Amino acid sequence: MIAKQVETISYSEFKRLLKDHQITEVVVLGLANHRDTLGKPLCPCRFYPDKQEEIKHRTWICACDDMQIYKYCHCLLFVNVEGLPITEHLPQDHEGREAYGIIRDPHPDKGRAVAKVQERHKEGEA
């Protein structure tokens, strides 16, 4: 189930998963384990003092806020064809931009669901 979700996101927004299948497998297994043990696919690439508290905030449930707002995957599960994470939409001081520089979004019309909702709300307030 989690692997299918990852494939769907990858195909619809990126057209590619990380080339290193061992890393992809570890991340997917971590997501599946969290879904089975916690009820939600909490990102396995971060440390949480209290996983149940993190679930309440929803920030790091895959597809996490960074993916939904910036189209950036901290786990490097979703990358461009060069194997790099998309950083174009990140704030300037974000760790991803500092590490990788600006990596353009090859499909700006896809993904970023939460960012698009936020933009519509801002337009409605203006």
64 labelled catalytic: no
Write the CA distances from 84 to 23, 27, 42, 57, 87, integer angstroms.
Answer: 14, 16, 22, 28, 9
- What is the C-alpha separation between 13 and 32, in angstroms, rounded? 21
Amino acid (1-letter code) at residue 64: C
Q: In the numeric block, which tokens belong to residue 69?
A: 């707002």
**Which one, of 126, 60, 115, lies nearest residue 90 by Cα?**
115
Please tell me which residue in 43, 45, 62, 75 is annotated as part of the active site: 45
DSSP state of 42: B
Beta bridge pairs of residue 17:
78
User: What residues are annotated to the active site?
Assistant: 45
